[in-house]
């Protein structure tokens, strides 16, 4: 027996959390169909994600985000905490107020496809991120606006976020 | 917050994940209650716990390279590690092994009861611990029985869960 390394423990927790979520989805689907399951799933994500991001904000001692640099740093920390390697995403913050995220594969897409309802599934992954931003009171625009599963309809998934942080004003002497 | 001044310990990071996982589970239950009532939510909660349990224990065994569970002592050690990893800090419990090779988990303060109690729902919501632990034993490939005599409406946040395993 060997005790898992710290990063393995984190991966284990994230994987089991997502599996538990998937099991709720699966059993709810059996009980009440995809429309109601979508509604319950999204409502649960919204309320969970709002709590989640406030907890992370508190844990790292962050206040409101007045600048792009502060937000960028916080977002990087949050993604480091809340996501697992198996999620297979990449994101970049290539310029002030710009964020691009993309998925080579998506665990939610694979799971829901296996359940046979991917054509009617409404994405909960991006809802979690959008709820973080909404809860933090951050103004943003996102393209494309997708309710369903982009991996299913387009064979790839990405989002472009534009934020509205103003350039920090320079102090005059 | 300054750019480079945030360092979370692995323990803080794990606590955040565990707490969000529990919140997400709770939100699924709550939204299901709002949509379909307590009976359906209890049923789905137990089914999800049962489906999830064997996967989470198998993953832990794989990560620890545990191998076959040889005896009650071995199972008790695995149970202690699993509970330490998967249960939140506020869940207080003891684990004992008896001469008849059964293992007892004695819950002194239950985090699920605490949360359900806050929602004023202990009369209506059923505990899923037995489903989860039965599934853990299935995941461990042990011939077994899990005995849990109390439920949410009569436990007051404490209970005894006995794992009777045929070795």
Measured from the Cβ of residue B27, the count of other Cβ atoms closer than 10 Å reads: 23
Q: What pLDDT is recorded for position B5?
A: 67
d(CA A24, CA A5): 29
**Cβ-nearest to B18 among A13, A32, A51:** A13
A132 in Cβ contact with A107 (< 8 Å): no
Instruction: Please check whether residue B24 touches A, CB under 8 A.
Output: yes
Q: What radius of gyration do chain A's Cα atoms show?
A: 18
Contact A26 B51 (CB under 8 A): yes
Instruction: Please check whether residue B47 touches A, CB under 8 A.
Output: yes
> What domains are there in chain B, each with its CATH number?
10-166 (3.30.1380.20)
pLDDT tens by residue, B9-57: 999 999 999 999 999 999 999 999 999 999 999 999 999 999 999 999 9
Confidence of residue A173 (pLDDT cuts 50, 70, 90): very low
CA neighbor of B151 nearest in space, from B107, B119, B118? B107
**Cβ-nearest to A6 among B10, B20, B67:** B10
Extents of the domains making up chain A: 6-163
Residue A139 structure tokens? 């103004």
Q: What pLDDT is recorded for position B166?
A: 87
Q: What pLDDT is recorded for position B167?
A: 83
pLDDT tens by residue, A60-76: 999 999 999 999 999 99
Contact A8 B63 (CB under 8 A): yes
d(CA A104, CA A107): 10
For residue A169, pLDDT over 60 is answered with no
Confidence of residue A167 (pLDDT cuts 50, 70, 90): confident
Measured from the Cβ of residue A120, the count of other Cβ atoms closer than 10 Å reads: 15
**Cβ-nearest to B56 among A16, A43, A74:** A16
For chain A, the straight-line distance linking the first and the last C-alpha, in angstroms and rounded, comes to 64
Write down the ipTM of this complex.
Answer: 0.94
- A33-42, long-range: CB < 8 A, 24+ apart: A34/A117, A34/A120, A34/A121, A35/A120, A36/B35, A38/A120, A38/A121, A38/A122, A39/B35, A40/B28, A40/B31, A40/B32, A40/B35, A41/A122, A41/A124, A41/B28, A42/A122, A42/A124, A42/A127
For residue A91, pLDDT over 60 is answered with yes
Instruction: Quote the percentage of chain A above a pLDDT of 70.
Output: 95
Q: What pLDDT is recorded for position A28?
A: 98
d(CA A40, CA A42): 6
Q: Which residues of B touch A54 (CB under 8 A)?
A: none
Most B CBs within 10 Å, among A7, A10, A11, A13, to test the B interface: A13
In this predicted model, which residue has the larger pLDDT, B62 or A1? B62
Give me the DSSP letters along B21-85: HHHHHHHHHHHHHHHH-HHHHHHHHHHHHHHHHHHHHHHHHHHTT--S--SHHHHHHHHHHHHHH
For residue A171, pLDDT over 90 is answered with no
Reduced to 3 states (helix: H, G, I; strand: E, B; else coil), residue B2 is coil
Chain A nearest C-alpha distance from B19 (Å): 8
- B28-33, long-range: CB < 8 A, 24+ apart: B28/A21, B28/A24, B28/A28, B28/A40, B28/A41, B28/A44, B29/B125, B30/A44, B30/A47, B30/B119, B31/A40, B31/A43, B31/A44, B31/A47, B32/A28, B32/A40, B33/B121, B33/B125
d(CA B56, CA B132): 10
Residue A91 structure tokens? 């994101």
Most B CBs within 10 Å, among A24, A62, A114, to test the B interface: A24
Q: What pLDDT is recorded for position B1?
A: 62
Enumerate residue ranges in chain B where pLDDT < 50: 3
Q: What pLDDT is recorded for position A2?
A: 73
Q: Which residue of B has its CA nearest to A68?
A: B3
- CATH architecture entry for A6-163: 2-Layer Sandwich (3.30)
Q: Which residue of A has its CA nearest to B78?
A: A1
**Cβ-nearest to A52 among B20, B55, B81:** B20
Helices and strands (H, E) in chain B, number of each type? 5, 4
* Cα angle for residues B148, B149, B155 (degrees, 5° grid): 100
Share the mean pLDDT of chain A. 94
Cα-Cα-Cα-Cα dihedral sign, residues B9, B12, B14, B20: negative
**Cβ-nearest to A62 among B1, B40, B55:** B1
Residue B39 structure tokens? 């009976």
Chain B nearest C-alpha distance from A163 (Å): 19
The residues pairing with B147 across neighbouring beta strands, listed in sequence order, are B162
Residues A67-95 have a mean pLDDT of 94
Q: What pLDDT is recorded for position A7?
A: 83
Q: What pLDDT is recorded for position A6?
A: 75
In the numeric block, the tokens 């800090």 are attached to B89
Contact B31 A43 (CB under 8 A): yes
Residues A42-48 have a mean pLDDT of 98
For residue A77, pLDDT over 80 is answered with yes
Contact B8 A16 (CB under 8 A): no
Contact A2 B64 (CB under 8 A): yes
Residues A119-127 have a mean pLDDT of 97
């Amino acid at each position: 027996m060997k005790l898992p390394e710290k990063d393995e423990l984190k991966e284990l927790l994230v994987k089991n959390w997502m599996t538990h979520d998937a099991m709720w989805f699966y059993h709810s689907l059996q009980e009440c169909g995809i429309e109601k399951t979508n509604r319950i799933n999204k409502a649960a994500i919204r309320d969970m994600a709002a709590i989640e991001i406030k907890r992370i904000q508190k844990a790292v001692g962050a206040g409101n985000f007045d600048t792009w640099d502060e937000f960028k740093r916080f977002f990087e920390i949050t993604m480091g905490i809340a996501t697992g390697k198996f999620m297979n995403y990449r994101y970049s913050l290539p310029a002030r107020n710009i964020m691009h995220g993309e998925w080579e594969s998506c665990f939610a897409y694979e799971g829901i496809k296996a359940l046979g309802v991917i054509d009617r599934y409404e994405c909960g992954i991006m809802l979690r991120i959008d709820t973080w931003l909404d809860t933090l009171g951050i103004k943003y625009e996102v393209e494309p606006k997708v309710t369903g599963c982009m991996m299913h309809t387009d064979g790839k998934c990405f989002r472009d976020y534009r934020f509205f942080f103003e350039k920090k004003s320079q102090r005059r002497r | 917050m300054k750019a480079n001044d945030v360092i979370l310990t692995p323990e803080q990071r794990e606590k955040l994940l565990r707490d969000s996982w529990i919140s997400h589970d709770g939100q699924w239950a709550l939204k299901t209650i709002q949509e379909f009532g307590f009976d359906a939510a209890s049923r789905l909660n137990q089914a999800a716990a049962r489906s999830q349990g064997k996967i989470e224990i198998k993953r832990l065994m794989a990560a620890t390279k545990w191998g076959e569970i040889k005896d009650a002592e071995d199972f008790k050690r695995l149970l202690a590690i699993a509970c330490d990893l998967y249960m939140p800090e506020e869940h207080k419990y003891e684990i004992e092994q008896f001469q008849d090779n059964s293992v007892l988990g004695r819950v002194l303060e239950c985090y699920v009861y605490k949360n359900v109690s806050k929602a004023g729902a202990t009369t209506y919501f059923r505990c899923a611990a037995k489903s989860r632990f039965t599934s853990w034993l299935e995941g461990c490939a042990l011939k077994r029985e899990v005995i849990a005599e109390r439920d949410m409406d009569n436990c007051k946040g404490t209970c005894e869960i006995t794992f009777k395993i045929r070795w």
